[in-house]
Structures are given as structure tokens and as C-alpha cells.
Amino acid sequence: MQNYLEFNFKISPLQPWNEILMAELIEIGFDSFTEEIHGILGYIQKDAFNENDLKALPLFENENVKIEYSFQEMPNINWNEEWEKNFSPINIDDKVLIRAEFHESVPGMHEIIIQPKMSFGTGHHPTTHLMIQQMMDMDLQGKKVLDMGCGTSVLAIYAKQQGAGDVKAIDIDEWSVENSKENAERNGVTLDIEQGTAENLGKENFDIILANINRNILISDIPTYVSVLNKGGKLLLSGLCFFDVEDILEVCRENNLELKKQLQREEWVSLLLEK
């Protein structure tokens, strides 16, 4: 079992910066959070922490928010086990249920069953919720799908369950790749899962690309996504706050993508685009 550091972040004002900070912390290795009245508690494995990475986060340079933090080393306990105790099912519009094996099934709802370990992408975050909402209205039948930054592969699994053809899932994190393989097997679907980034994408083309990552990576990688997206194909993006939308759309327009649908949940947004 790994030793963890617990960070206490004081955030002023709290909204929408607490969610944005969590998204940035995930990119440098933080893997679980607890929301507090005046901020958040964030947890990271001691061996994975680099204070220079923390101090370099863009949010610390933002004049619109003040962030202070302190940290302490936590006892050597099984944090995955502790996290599981507080994992609750996710209900998306009374149509899709993301649950663990130890939760009861709900008749009439489409189910995705995952092993709830400390990971972004379980469905609790608004962006995962938005992606599933968008996908519920998409024609996935027989489509070749790519899930970039797959996390637990909830989106890839849902695509396959909804009749998609070949589905590839890519994540930079080795643990996410292993957990994705477990979750695919748990749901009885076959996925092509690999560790990497957009640099993994070669000449293989896709009908639908799902990318729930963050603003900076999306801006960098959208041209690559477009290069492997079939004509008439769909690019579904999230990991964006409402104030990121115009910057993202500018890059999309430069790459001949047309906005088809935009959804917002709290301060988070998803964009459906077509090539």
C-alpha cells in the first residue's frame, strides 16, 4: 500500500474554481478529492508528488482566484478500500446507471458496471455525465470509435454496449489502462486498450472520437483528432469550463469542424462537432 499526502486547499472564491483546480490536479497525479466548505482536500501518492508541478499549475497564476494550501502525510491504509465505501451509483437522466458490482441493479435502466477505484472518469464528475448525455442521442451503431484519455473506459464501454464496431481506448496512465481492461471484461465487451497519447494515432481512422480531457490538451490535439476523423465524423469534447468554449471553438473552426450541439452542467461544457 502506498503512502499518501493529504493537501488542504483553501480557495476564494470557491466557485467555479474548486472544480477547475481538481481538473488541473488530476493532470499532475492527484487521484481523489473531498469537497470542503472553503475548498477541497486532495490526495496523491507520496512518491508521485512533485511540488514544482503543483506550483506551475495555471490556476495559481490566475488573478481571479486565491489559493492557499498545506499538506500532511497520511497513515498507510488502503485508500482504495476507503474510497469504495463512499462510492455511490450515478444516475444519468434515469436512463443510464453507472454502478459497482456491490450496488443493486435498477430495472429499466442501461447499466455500466465498474470497479470503483480512485480514478477520474467514474461518472461523478459533470464532464463524464455530459459525455454520456451527448452519446445517448448519437448513432453509435457499427461506428468505429476512439476514446482518448479513457480513464475507467466508461465512455468506451457505453459506446460498445450501444452497438459501436471497433472501439479503441487510450490513456497516458498505466493504472487506467489496467483498470479499463478489468472494466471491459466486467461488462462483457471487447475494447482495444493501450497506453499513450494522441501521438499513438497513425493512419487508423475513426467515425467518432470522444475526448474528455482538459482545455490545453484538447487545443494541442484537436488537429491530430481531425486528421484521423472520417469525413462526416463526430468529435465529442469535454473537460471544458464555460469560459474555455470560445478558445476551443476557434481551434475547431480552424480545423473545419462545425458545432452541432452544446450542453452545460454546472460550469462544465461538452461540445459535439462534425467534420
Q: Is 34 known to sit in a ligand binding site?
A: no
Q: Would the pLDDT of 247 be above 50?
A: yes
The mean pLDDT of the chain is 89
Considering only CA atoms, give the Rg of the chain: 18
CB of 248 closer than 8 Å to CB of 210 = no
Domain boundaries, the chain: 4-73, 124-274
Q: What topology does CATH give the domain 124-274?
A: Rossmann fold (3.40.50)
- Confidence at 65, pLDDT banded by 50, 70, 90: very high
Residue 236's contacts (CB-CB under 8 Å, 6 or more residues apart) are 131, 134, 135, 138, 208, 209, 210, 211, 270, 271, 272, 273
CB of 261 closer than 8 Å to CB of 238 = no
Q: Would the pLDDT of 86 be above 70?
A: no
pTM for the model stands at 0.74
> What pLDDT is attached to residue 120?
47
The more confidently predicted of residues 174 and 69 is 69
Strands (E), the chain: 4-12, 32-35, 39-45, 66-73, 90-92, 96-99, 110-113, 145-148, 167-171, 192-195, 206-212, 229-241, 258-265, 268-274
For residue 4, list its beta bridge partners: 45
When pLDDT is averaged across residues 244-266 and rounded to a whole number, the result is 95
The more confidently predicted of residues 254 and 244 is 254
Q: Is 229 helix (H, G, I), strand (E, B) or coil?
A: strand
Q: Would the pLDDT of 116 be above 80?
A: no
CATH code for the part of the protein at 4-73? 3.30.70
CB of 238 closer than 8 Å to CB of 262 = no
> What pLDDT is attached to residue 80?
61
* 93 burial via Cβ count (<10 Å: 0-12, 13-18, 19+): exposed
> What pLDDT is attached to residue 124?
56
> What pLDDT is attached to residue 175?
78
pLDDT digits (tens, 9 = 90+) for 21-60: 988 898 898 877 877 888 999 888 888 899 999 999 989 9
Asked if the domains at 4-73 and 124-274 fall in one CATH topology, the answer is no
Q: Would the pLDDT of 119 be above 50?
A: no
Q: Is 121 known to sit in a ligand binding site?
A: no
Q: Would the pLDDT of 133 be above 90?
A: yes
CA–centroid distance for 66 within its chain: 25
Q: Is 8 known to sit in a ligand binding site?
A: no
Q: Would the pLDDT of 207 be above 90?
A: yes
C-alpha to C-alpha distance for 237 and 234, rounded to whole angstroms: 10
Q: Is 149 known to sit in a ligand binding site?
A: yes
When pLDDT is averaged across residues 83-98 and rounded to a whole number, the result is 82
Q: Work out the number of other CB atoms within 10 angstroms of the CB of residue 15.
A: 10
Q: Look at residues 114, 214, 211, 206 and name the one whose alpha carbon lies nearest to residue 164.
A: 206
